Structure 1
Amino acid sequence: MSLVVGLAACGVSAGLFGSMFVPVRKYDAGDGFFAQWVMSTAILFVGFVMHAIKGFPAFYPLAMIGGACWTIGNACAIPIINRLGMAMGILIWNTANCLTGWASGRFGLFGTIARPPANEPLNYAGLLCVIVGGVIFSRLDSKPKNGGRKASLEMGDIPEKEALNDTPKEFDEDESAEMAKQDTTIAAGSKDRIFAFILSLISGVLYGVTFAPVNYMIDQGIGSKDGLDYVFSHYFGIFLTSTALFLGYCIYKRNDPWINPQIVLPGYVSGLFWGIAQSSFFVANDNLSQAVSFPIITMLPGCIASAWSILYFREITGHRNFIILAVAMTITLCGAAMVGLSKTLSF
Structure 2
Amino acid sequence: MSSAILLVGFCTFVYIGFPGFYPLAMLGGMFWSIGNSMAIPVISRLGMALGILIWNTTNCLTGWAGGRFGLFGMKANPPESSILNYFGLSLVLVGGFLFSRIRGGKAEEEPAEGKRITLHLHDAENEKLSATPEQSDDEVLNRTTKVDGAEVRQEMGARGRGVGILLALISGCFYGLTDSLYPTDGMSYIFSHYFGIFVTGTALFVGYSIFKKNKPTINNAITLPAFGGGLLWAIAQSSFFIANDNLSQAVTFPIITTLPGCVAALWSIFYFKEIQGKRNFILMAIAVSITLT
Say yes or no: TM over 0.5.
yes
> What secondary structure is seen at the aligned counterpart in 1 of 2:61?
helix
Q: Contact conserved, 2:29 with 2:195, CA < 8 A, in 1?
A: yes
Q: Contact conserved, 1:62 with 1:213, CA < 8 A, in 2?
A: no
1:210 equivalent among 168, 178, 198: 178
> What secondary structure is seen at the aligned counterpart in 2 of 1:159?
strand
Matched, 1:277 2:239: no
Partners of 2:102 and 2:132 lie apart in 1 by: 32
TM superposition shift of 1:158: 3.4
Partners of 1:197 and 1:125 lie apart in 2 by: 25
More helix by share: 1
TM superposition shift of 1:192: 1.6
Partners of 2:162 and 2:56 lie apart in 1 by: 17
Partners of 1:63 and 1:158 lie apart in 2 by: 48
Per the alignment, residue 228 of structure 1 pairs with 187
Q: Contact conserved, 1:85 with 1:143, CA < 8 A, in 2?
A: no
Per the alignment, residue 117 of structure 1 pairs with 79
Q: Contact conserved, 1:228 with 1:279, CA < 8 A, in 2?
A: yes
Aligned length: 268
Per the alignment, residue 254 of structure 2 pairs with 295
Which amino acid is 2:229 matched to?
A: S
Which amino acid is 1:103 matched to?
A: A
CA spacing shift, 1:141–1:58, aligned 2, 3 Å: same
Per the alignment, residue 76 of structure 1 pairs with 38
TM-score by length of 1: 0.72
2:15 equivalent among 26, 36, 53: 53
Partners of 2:229 and 2:83 lie apart in 1 by: 37
> What secondary structure is seen at the aligned counterpart in 1 of 2:182?
helix
Per the alignment, residue 93 of structure 1 pairs with 55
TM superposition shift of 1:162: 7.0
Matched, 1:161 2:123: yes
2:292 equivalent among 312, 333, 343: 333
Partners of 1:317 and 1:114 lie apart in 2 by: 43
Partners of 2:163 and 2:257 lie apart in 1 by: 22
> What secondary structure is seen at the aligned counterpart in 1 of 2:178?
coil
Identity among equivalent pairs (%): 57
Question: Which moves more between the two structures, 278-287 or 52-61?
Answer: 52-61
User: After TM superposition, which residue ranges in structure 1, 4 or more long, deviate above 2 angstroms?
Assistant: 161-165, 175-178, 180-188, 211-215
Partners of 2:119 and 2:250 lie apart in 1 by: 43
More strand by share: 2
Partners of 2:226 and 2:264 lie apart in 1 by: 17
2:207 equivalent among 248, 256, 273: 248
TM-score by length of 2: 0.85
1:314 equivalent among 261, 270, 273: 273
5+ residue gaps in structure 1? 1-38, 145-155, 168-174, 219-225, 335-347
Q: Contact conserved, 2:131 with 2:137, CA < 8 A, in 1?
A: no
- RMSD value over aligned CA atoms? 2.4
